[in-house]
Structure 1
């Protein structure tokens, strides 16, 4: 057993322990266990903050609905539907355009106006205010607003069902009585059907905003998205603290969108019917003139029936005539369209389409022209005609109108060329019928002209009827798939995420603070740091003493610290061996590490064994031994060295401890270091060795002066004091150098002022607070420090965990 204990103080053995020292979970846990209460308290505090945030945050609900956009062009599918498709401007729907329309300010302003969202009322609570919707206890009637582009608000405090206070005024106002505020005139009417007991307080906040501001607020909370490219279903969602309001906003939005589509279709149908009516009136006059000419010709020329011969030739010409008639009709339609385009009255009207002219370029331009006209009309509802956007649209309309006119000219030219070709073929046939009477040919021309006008008239009548029927039965191309339901889903606050976030914050902040403290800490905190930074052996540890006395050890003392000094005395045997005379030098890195305290109690614990012990006060610059023992100063070491005192004059007996003496330092000389090199010091040490069994040399700190190194020639071993939480870590490098270079004899470390915290530990089997010995301090084997006792259990608990 002694050999095993002695191995603990062999440098090679300690080095092997340091090299084999890996991460030990138990060491890590015990080191940081003292911070656990702070981490727990921080987590609890942040959980309380999370609860407050969840409790007092405004709850935001998401209300959703879905809208089907029907593509009527694809639904028809047949070639015969081309007239309806182009005439009524029903093209394939662009879902991106429809999504922008739903989010447009024009549409949202109509929604806000329909729901009356310009005026908002909030119920004022203790922490936050709540939006009221449909359950406002009073109605605000606005008589006059000075500036409708500026928002305003005011506070209302209801006194009773008949009176209220305005903006903290002490003068009550009667409900229904007109009042003025900032140049605006209002009247507040009390709704007695709604009880004020339903609200947290009688205080309310009224806010009025202009339509554009309300539309922007709605747009920020509205989301319109398309699930996939295979469907034409749009999903709409609205987030607001009042789910009923969100439901009404979505329902009204879909209704406004439907009405816009119907309005656009009706506008196109109206312009088309007006155009057809104008052409019918012109055709009626032309048809009457042709009929009159034919009647006059037949009366004047006595022509009532065609010859049988003409019937044969007519059969040959029938196919050519049919094609010629179709070309003539289309040519007339082109002429009308040219006339319509050039007419300044129609500058901002839509152009009728698909009146029998099947030219793709023309149809595309007319459709683009009509779309720009509709967009201009829609923007004129919310802006002035001189707006740059309107001017830009008019410029685009003028450009498209010019392109339509040019295309119509090209179509006309193409029809004329085709007509000339038909005429050439007809001339060849007419050469065969030149023998027919001229009267018959003239009558045929008149009848052909009459037929053209009749067919064109019938065509327009048919289109007018179809347009009227279509206009009367106009329906929207959208359908609500899923209505907005309340209460909707709660999206904020997200209770789970908030609690998790605050819990993580409550854990990470103290952990981060602890990590920063560990990084910034530059003083020795535990035994593990010492063992990691130096190979010098550790002789033992001395706990923190709350007693103000310098002398702790006595014959009858059973305190924990006294027992620690007895353990150090036992361990010291394996350093000094079995020498009869022991000279022990005590030093440290700098002042304040407890060197004199250790020297005093080491002397006492050695004297208790029956050995005659003396403490020599070699810390000449800053002596503390005599004052600590409350002894009267007399001649000392410096007096002996300069030859002014004898050895017998130096000794001071410590009354409380048998066999314990002190040799004071004497007066402080101007040259302490040189004085300690005097030969008289050697004589003094020889004299002391003859009279005492144990000599304790309390020297000056080796980190400040060289006294300890000079006195090391007399010592058998050196107790180097390291104070927990006081000695700098960089001092351990100096200690390690002193140990390796053997500048101090038998250097071993003594850890002083060790506090009973979870952060301190020693190596396995040691006597440190973590090593197991401290946890026996309250076992009844030792006397408890009276100053550490407290009649308050919670105070003791607090000191233990939060010290």
Structure 2
């Protein structure tokens, strides 16, 4: 019902929203999707030998590849990588040109580029209007500055770099600056990296951008930065191995230097000295065995098989600073990993770092075990020689051969490490990325259609919702009766009928005529029917009083047409124009001015003299108000009024009384004791709600017999009776 009564508002609102959508389409820039495809080699394979194992032949170390598709996607969408792209392409500076009155962003077509050495706060709050006058001069907000050099401006220290020959024919542009973090986050929000297939190393990188060439440049630079990061990481991995080889070479070189020291004559020692040396060697062997057992415990930890409880004690007994530092770093990473969020990119990075540290621990264990084994073998050999010396007193030549074997072993190991160092250097110099660009960035389709459909639906829904909200707010602040339900909520007085405002009202206000059908006529018939069953004694409803709260509510229109309806039933009916302050019924019926009710009440006329027939009806009469008295209330309170109604009751079947509004004057209450039924007219969107409180008071006090309500102008907002009582009544506060 709300939509039907206010359908013009809904239509107007929807049309306005469609107009707004048209303006939106005109000013909205097209949005493009830029795509590129990148191949990640060996990023999904497991148990892949790393660069370190390949340097050592791949037989000693075989680790799981520390890279995965999820890790690489995390790197590609990282803040650090996008920050480098924004910085190198200068994406925090935007260039615009007016196209058909709309500022459109330009990128590759910008005639200049700006560089900021130091910016003031005003640089990020004001746009720069740049115009051109000569090849080496530009105007920034109407101030001339040279090009190709840093200059001090009110916005900071800037440099203007021409991208073409400048002249006064070049169209001015607008330059705006944004903070780099905001731009980086904005591009990351529009960046999407997804695998082409679930088990594939192909990645599709897409970016939403309004300027196609700018989007392609961003994706190209992003892929280049990713490849550079990959190469840097792989070089760092090999460089760490190279550093380890260099340390080992320095240790072997120092021992070779000790081998070159001339041998002393220690083969002619006494027997007791040899026995003492053998006891010392036994203690050294016992210590070496303890260290070898400690190495097994650390090796179990490096292989993730436990052994963490006594790790710090064992490491101290080995007295190797490199191993101790590596163990401390591993324990620190484990603690950090346990405190972090599992399953995140940061947790994956910590896992890979811990894995690499354990690999280095494993290599250190091999080095220390080799040293300890070598020392143990040397001591065992020395003990053997001592025992043989005690028994057989070996010659100096035999002992010298045993000593000279050690430098030969060291020379072989030194040559081997030199070879591996060269291989590591060549690996660093020849490192290339394992990623390859399959499809270069390209602009595929305009992707604004989905957005436009969503905006269209949103505006269409708004066009329907806004009138509802407007009507709801209007009703909330409206103190007038607008619906039947409001009357039923505010009063318990029964509603006898509803009358809609008809467009067929004639100059004499008579809608109900013989052989003429109308909506209002049918509603008058329904009111006439309900009138026959109203009250406790419906057969006595001969005298009908019409009143209302205010003027202009249509009681005169309803009263004269209800009288016509009763007359057409063959019942003799008369309408009394009892409004002696501003009578209008006789004017609407085009009756001549003659004696009326007031003349009878003052005793100047008889009943027959004040009655006039209404043209077009056989049984329909009217008694006009007559002369306007100075004291209507006193006149209606005289003894002549009941006598008038008594005489009319003898001659007429129905008496319809059109009285003044009860909310303005008390005339109706003086007539009320002599009537059978009272019809209180309430007009939609006109009668104040507080009048219902007065209706309740009248009903509860039985001031009007058989009080009923008639709703007028249902579903109509026009006020056609606003001038009916203008100037005669004033509304006194209740």
Q: 2:624 aligned with 1:662, yes or no?
A: yes
Could you report, residue by residue, the CA deviation over 1:291-328 in whole angstroms, capped at 9, with x for unpaired residues? 6847x999x99xxxxxxxxxxxxxxxxxxx9xx9xx99
Note if contact 1:59-1:493 (Cα within 8 Å) is conserved in structure 2: no
Aligned-residue offset at 1:43 = 2.0
Q: Secondary structure at the match of 1:726?
A: coil
Between the aligned partners of 2:571 and 2:250, the Cα distance in structure 1 is: 143
1:508 to 462, 465, 468: 465
Between the aligned partners of 2:531 and 2:82, the Cα distance in structure 1 is: 94
> Given the superposition, is the C-alpha separation of residues 706 and 245 from structure 1 closer, same or farther in structure 2, using an over 3 Å criterion?
same
Could you report, residue by residue, the CA deviation over 1:443-502 in whole angstroms, capped at 9, with x for unpaired residues? 134223213322331232232132133223322244446543324662687122111111
Q: Secondary structure at the match of 1:155?
A: strand
Between the aligned partners of 1:47 and 1:242, the Cα distance in structure 2 is: 27
Q: 2:246 aligned with 1:290, yes or no?
A: no
Note if contact 2:46-2:64 (Cα within 8 Å) is conserved in structure 1: yes
> Given the superposition, is the C-alpha separation of residues 687 and 167 from structure 1 closer, same or farther in structure 2, using an over 3 Å criterion?
same
Note if contact 1:591-1:701 (Cα within 8 Å) is conserved in structure 2: yes
**In the alignment, what sits opposite 2:576?**
616
**In the alignment, what sits opposite 2:379?**
423
Which structure 2 residues correspond to residues 494-573 of structure 1 after superposition, within 5 A? 494-515=451-472, 523=480, 525=482, 535-538=494-497, 543=502, 552=510
Between the aligned partners of 2:497 and 2:158, the Cα distance in structure 1 is: 89
**In the alignment, what sits opposite 1:391?**
none
Note if contact 1:541-1:564 (Cα within 8 Å) is conserved in structure 2: no
Q: 2:18 aligned with 1:59, yes or no?
A: no
Note if contact 2:598-2:625 (Cα within 8 Å) is conserved in structure 1: no
**In the alignment, what sits opposite 1:202?**
171
Note if contact 1:526-1:724 (Cα within 8 Å) is conserved in structure 2: yes
1:68 to 40, 50, 63: 40
Note if contact 2:41-2:435 (Cα within 8 Å) is conserved in structure 1: yes
Could you report, residue by residue, the CA deviation over 1:73-108 in whole angstroms, capped at 9, with x for unpaired residues? 832289965958999999723777655654556544
Note if contact 1:615-1:698 (Cα within 8 Å) is conserved in structure 2: yes
Aligned-residue offset at 1:439 = 0.8
> Given the superposition, is the C-alpha separation of residues 621 and 151 from structure 1 closer, same or farther in structure 2, using an over 3 Å criterion?
closer
Larger relative contact order (CA 8 Å, sep ≥ 6): 1
> Given the superposition, is the C-alpha separation of residues 428 and 746 from structure 1 closer, same or farther in structure 2, using an over 3 Å criterion?
same
Could you report, residue by residue, the CA deviation over 1:280-299 in whole angstroms, capped at 9, with x for unpaired residues? 577557547636847x999x
Between the aligned partners of 1:77 and 1:266, the Cα distance in structure 2 is: 12
Matched residues, number: 637
Could you report, residue by residue, the CA deviation over 1:158-207 in whole angstroms, capped at 9, with x for unpaired residues? 57x969862453x99999999874475655646369998xxxx9231245
Which structure 2 residues correspond to residues 147-296 of structure 1 after superposition, within 5 A? 147=119, 154-157=128-131, 166-167=139-140, 169=142, 181-182=153-154, 184=157, 186=159, 189=162, 191=164, 202-207=171-176, 218-219=187-188, 221-223=190-192, 236-266=205-235, 269=238, 273=242, 276=245, 280=249, 283=252, 287=256, 290=259, 293=262
Could you report, residue by residue, the CA deviation over 1:529-577 in whole angstroms, capped at 9, with x for unpaired residues? 8899865543866636777x66657999979699679958985995799
Deviates more, 1:507-516 or 1:556-565: 556-565
Between the aligned partners of 1:67 and 1:48, the Cα distance in structure 2 is: 48
Extract unaligned runs of 5+ from structure 2.
269-284, 296-319, 334-352, 719-734
> Given the superposition, is the C-alpha separation of residues 737 and 232 from structure 1 closer, same or farther in structure 2, using an over 3 Å criterion?
farther
Note if contact 1:603-1:615 (Cα within 8 Å) is conserved in structure 2: yes
Which structure 2 residues correspond to residues 731-742 of structure 1 after superposition, within 5 A? none
Between the aligned partners of 2:67 and 2:256, the Cα distance in structure 1 is: 42
Q: 2:413 aligned with 1:456, yes or no?
A: yes
Q: Secondary structure at the match of 1:721?
A: strand
Note if contact 2:81-2:226 (Cα within 8 Å) is conserved in structure 1: yes
Q: Secondary structure at the match of 1:667?
A: coil
**In the alignment, what sits opposite 1:442?**
399
> Given the superposition, is the C-alpha separation of residues 365 and 98 from structure 1 closer, same or farther in structure 2, using an over 3 Å criterion?
farther
Note if contact 1:586-1:696 (Cα within 8 Å) is conserved in structure 2: yes
| Alignment TM-score, normalising by the size of structure 1 | 0.60
Could you report, residue by residue, the CA deviation over 1:237-290 in whole angstroms, capped at 9, with x for unpaired residues? 433222332222222222222223323444565576577567657755754763
Could you report, residue by residue, the CA deviation over 1:608-651 in whole angstroms, capped at 9, with x for unpaired residues? 9998865434446776557777989998767866x765646983
Q: Secondary structure at the match of 1:49?
A: helix
**In the alignment, what sits opposite 1:651?**
610
Q: Secondary structure at the match of 2:441?
A: coil
Q: 2:52 aligned with 1:92, yes or no?
A: no
> Given the superposition, is the C-alpha separation of residues 87 and 729 from structure 1 closer, same or farther in structure 2, using an over 3 Å criterion?
same
Note if contact 1:620-1:668 (Cα within 8 Å) is conserved in structure 2: no
Deviates more, 1:66-75 or 1:726-735: 726-735
**In the alignment, what sits opposite 1:585?**
545
Note if contact 1:581-1:689 (Cα within 8 Å) is conserved in structure 2: no
Between the aligned partners of 1:438 and 1:610, the Cα distance in structure 2 is: 164
Note if contact 1:61-1:489 (Cα within 8 Å) is conserved in structure 2: yes
Between the aligned partners of 2:148 and 2:378, the Cα distance in structure 1 is: 84
| Alignment TM-score, normalising by the size of structure 2 | 0.64
Could you report, residue by residue, the CA deviation over 1:384-414 in whole angstroms, capped at 9, with x for unpaired residues? xxxxxxxxxxxxx9xxx9xx99x98999799
2:433 to 476, 489, 496: 476
> Given the superposition, is the C-alpha separation of residues 211 and 261 from structure 1 closer, same or farther in structure 2, using an over 3 Å criterion?
same
**In the alignment, what sits opposite 1:134?**
108
Q: Secondary structure at the match of 1:75?
A: coil
Note if contact 1:525-1:724 (Cα within 8 Å) is conserved in structure 2: yes
Between the aligned partners of 1:573 and 1:362, the Cα distance in structure 2 is: 107
Note if contact 2:597-2:623 (Cα within 8 Å) is conserved in structure 1: no
Q: Secondary structure at the match of 1:486?
A: strand
Note if contact 2:128-2:175 (Cα within 8 Å) is conserved in structure 1: yes
Note if contact 2:17-2:459 (Cα within 8 Å) is conserved in structure 1: yes
> Given the superposition, is the C-alpha separation of residues 411 and 505 from structure 1 closer, same or farther in structure 2, using an over 3 Å criterion?
same
Between the aligned partners of 2:627 and 2:696, the Cα distance in structure 1 is: 29
> Given the superposition, is the C-alpha separation of residues 665 and 68 from structure 1 closer, same or farther in structure 2, using an over 3 Å criterion?
farther
Note if contact 2:73-2:193 (Cα within 8 Å) is conserved in structure 1: yes
Note if contact 1:140-1:187 (Cα within 8 Å) is conserved in structure 2: yes
Between the aligned partners of 2:217 and 2:105, the Cα distance in structure 1 is: 15
